[in-house]
Structure 1
Amino acid sequence: MTPLSARRRFALVSFLTWLPAGLMIAPQVLLMLDRGLSIVEVGLVMTVYSVVIAVLELPTGGLADAVGRRVVLALAAACTAAGLAGLVLASTFWGFLVACAVLGVARALSSGPAEAWYVDTLHALEGPDADLKPGLARGLMLEDVALCAGVVAGGALPLAGAAFGGLDPLAVPILLGAVAAVGWLVVVLVALPEPPHERASLGGLLRGVPATVTSGVLLAVRDGMLRRLVLLSAAIGMALTCVELLVPGHLAGLTGSAELGATAYAVLAALGFAGSALGSALAPATARLLTPKPVGTPGEAARSVRGAAAGLVLGGVALAGMALAAAFAEGPGLGAIVLAGLPYVVLFVGLGVHGVLKAELTHHRVTSAERATMSSTTSLAGSGGAALANLTLAPLALGLGTSAAWWLVAAVVAASAALLHRVPAAFPSRSP
């Protein structure tokens, strides 16, 4: 395998990992409501999904570090196919609950192993100083492309219900997601040879996963660089939750109805994923432009740090733009929708730039034995930030208005760039 083929395989797996999720986003809740669940029951189902992910996030990361990347990715793909097939067939609360619990297991399993596979493979081919940015940028870009394409297709396919014969139109995108997950499974088994990695026996696995998880968490707490990167993930989790929580209702007010607001949000979500893909693609160039590198100037780590900080600042400015648009919106209309949508897309461009460069900094800081666990720790921190946002932003928006909540999150995101201040000019690598 060559470095180029490793990048291409990682990009393909990244796309296939998120295509089933994209196809599911638009019809999932509507399918449950259409088959008789109440909105409260739908909320309970989605809560179980979130709880399963949170409980398994770190153990599955430790599993990938203990037994290998490919087997965990294969399990994730198989669980995704099974969970989506369960959604298609479910007709009761308990059927949907079980299907979404399986999807939660799949999501936890898929968090980290693909990136860990790519980094380990590139290190084996080019050494620990290999440039991770191009491959990470391509992979994260294609994740967003998959989500964008999936959201658009998932929203459009049910409109052509008559073309699917006796199939439930709302179930068609989810069924296609299950087919895509089978394709993902085949690609993982055929195209992802396991990179050099210490194997564990069954007894070693049972002992090794808790030990790996514990060491990963302790590393994130004790290592100053990783601690700051994990805190950044919590800030990003707050920002994304703020958007998911407040944008749909805001758009409903700007369009004049809940139905039009839902349509506007679907379109805006697709544009946001496209903006994130653009930011991911621009991340390497952003890092180069912000820190030219003639002799004697800061090295590659400084480039990545400044690029990551710039992405955060751009995201904070975009959130401030959303706050201004909300404060000065005079009522429903296309102009108000455009003013709300433009900073939304810019926010995701900034987060796309930041995400690639933060991932590179993280991977250069950990060893192969800690890589997937650290990805899971980072993801869990994002969930913690999201939980904090859910508990605080809704009451704030209710009491002081949507604009006040966005101002607060804008300040948190922009200020979090200070966590990247005074970083060494060379990567503080712990990789062998």
Structure 2
Amino acid sequence: MTARSALHRYMLVSFLTWLPVGLTMAAMVLLMTGRGLSLAQVGLVVTVYSLVTVGLELPTGGLADVVGRRVVLAASAAFTVAGLALMSVSTTFWMFLVSGVLKGVARALSSGPAASWYVDTLHGLRGRAADLKPGLARGGAMESVALCLGVLVGGGLPLLVPPGLMFPLAAPPSVGALAAVLLLVVVLLALPEPPHPRRSPASVLREVPATVAASVRLAAGGGVLRRLMLAAASSGVVLTAIELLTPGRLAELAGTAERGSLAYAVVAALGFAGSAVGSALAPRAARLAGGSARGAIAGAVLSALSVGSLAATAGLDGAAGLLSAALAYVVLFLGISVTGLLCLEMTHNAVSAAERTTVTSTSSLSLQAGGTLANLALGALAVQAGIAAAWGVAAVVALSSALLFVRMPLAGRAVVPEESGRPV
């Protein structure tokens, strides 16, 4: 396999992993309410999905580091197929709840293995000095493209279903399940992985917790990784502040909830497009800034300015307020993607293959922890002091996160592949 071939396979898997998510994003809540669920029940289904994802984040990362990337990605695709297929035919709360559990398992399994496969493969072909930024940037861009196209196609699919064929809102998860079947085939056929030593189930049960514990100690104790985990938590605060407060703001500006929903769908698609551009520009930003850490600072500052502009324009009404909010939303995702991609590169450079996926799962867990904190604190702040105050706090958090990259050590833990005990 060549480096170009590995990159193309990584890009395809990245696209197909997130396409089902994008396809179901716009219709998910409407499908559940259309099948008779109350908003409280919808919230419980989403909460269970989140809890399952968070609870399995580290164990599944450890599993990928022990048994290999491909088998975990294949399992993720299979769980996605099952979850979305069940979601498309669900008619009761309990069916949707089981669907949420299956999707949560799939999300946890998919967190990190594809990027780890690409990094391991590139290191095997070009050594540990290989530049990871261009490939990771293209993979990140494909994820955002998949979300952008998915949310637009998924939003329009119910309108194209012939009368009497099926419940229109069930079309997006049905198509998403088909996309996940394609992902499963691609993973099984296009992601060759060096053979691993055969392990008994008992051995796997011992090694996974040990890998998780070692990776958490590494992330908490290493200077570079500790800063990167804090940066991920800061991103979680900012992203949640935007996703929590923007829909209501757009509904207020558009005049009705229905128009606000349409406005948010368009703005979300534009945000994903901005994220794709940010991922693609990350290597150039690092080159112009003089290094990955400085490029991450530039992205964090841009994100802070974008959220700050949301706070500053919160008093605008009508078309001017709508346009300013949409523009800030797009620029925010561009900046946060630049920082996120460069943080991902620095994370992979700081670890060996033995704990690569688990450490990236730790980063994902940090992001979700930041999001949970923002949900609890910024939502209450918005109610008490207004949306501008909540966005102002998020802007301060984003700007403060830039300090984490100041005088960042040039390299993390330089480990040669042989130390991992696994072929790469």
- Aligning the two structures, in what range does the TM-score lie when normalised by the shorter sequence? over 0.9
Which whole-Å CA distance do the structure 1 matches of 2:298 and 2:254 have between them?
33
TM-score normalised according to structure 2 size:
0.96
Match of 1:315 among 303, 308, 322: 303
Map of 1:274 onto structure 2 = 273
**C-alpha offsets along residues 125-145 of structure 1, whole Å, 9 cap, x if unaligned?**
000111101110000000000
Q: Which amino acid aligns with 2:401?
A: S
- What is the CA distance between 1:430 and its match in structure 2? 3.1
- The offset of 1:421, in angstroms, is 1.0
Aligned length: 417
Q: Which residue identity lines up with residue 340 of structure 2 in the other structure?
A: G
1:31 aligns with 2:19: no
- Whole-angstrom distance in 2 between the partners of 1:277 and 1:198: 38
Identify the residue that residue 14 of structure 1 maps to in structure 2.
14
* Secondary structure class of the residue paired with 1:100: helix
Residue 229 of structure 1 corresponds to which residue in structure 2? 228
Write the distance in 2 (CA, Å) between the matches of 1:428 and 1:386.
28
Partner amino acid, structure 1, of 2:189: V
How far is the alpha carbon of 1:429 from its aligned partner?
2.6
Partner residue, 1:200 = 199
Q: Following superposition of structure 1 onto structure 2, how do residues 6-405 of structure 1 map, counting pairs within 5 Å?
A: 6-162=6-162, 165-195=164-194, 200-291=199-290, 303-326=291-314, 328-329=315-316, 331=317, 333-405=318-390
Q: Which runs of 5+ in 1 are unaligned?
A: 292-302
Aligned CA RMSD, in angstroms, stands at 1.2
**In structure 2, what is the Cα distance between the partners aligned to 1:335 and 1:221?**
45
CA shift, 1:377, in A, is 0.4
- Give 1:314 deviation, angstroms: 0.5
Distance change >3 Å, CA 425–CA 214, structure 1 → 2: closer
2:27 maps to 1:2: no
Does the C-alpha gap of structure 1 residues 421 and 195 become closer, same or farther in structure 2, counting only changes over 3 Å? farther
Residues of 1 paired with 2:398 and 2:197: CA distance? 38
Q: CA deviation at 1:165?
A: 4.5
307 and 196 in structure 1: CA distance in 2 versus 1, 3 angstrom threshold: farther
- Between 306-315 and 190-199, report the one with greater CA deviation: 190-199
1:234·1:382 contact (CA, 8 Å) conserved in 2? yes
Structure-2 separation of matches of 1:134 and 1:198: 31
Q: Is the 8 A contact 2:351 2:413 kept in 1?
A: no
Q: Deviations over 1:201-255 (max 9, x none)?
A: 3221010011011111111111111001001000000111101110000011101
Counterpart Cα distance in 1 of 2:362 and 2:130:
24
Cα contact 1:365–1:431 (8 A) shared by 2:
no
Specify every segment of 5 or more residues in structure 2 that has no aligned partner in the other structure, as ranges.
Answer: 418-424
Q: 1:356 aligns to what SS in structure 2? A: helix
Could you say what secondary structure the match of 1:322 adopts?
helix
Give me the whole-angstrom Cα distance separating, in 2, the residues matched to 1:111 and 1:318: 27
* TM-score (norm. length: structure 1): 0.95
Q: CA deviation at 1:161?
A: 3.1
1:366 to 1:199, Cα distance in 2 relative to 1, 3 A: farther
- CA apart distance, 1:424: 3.2
**How big is the shift at 1:308?**
1.1
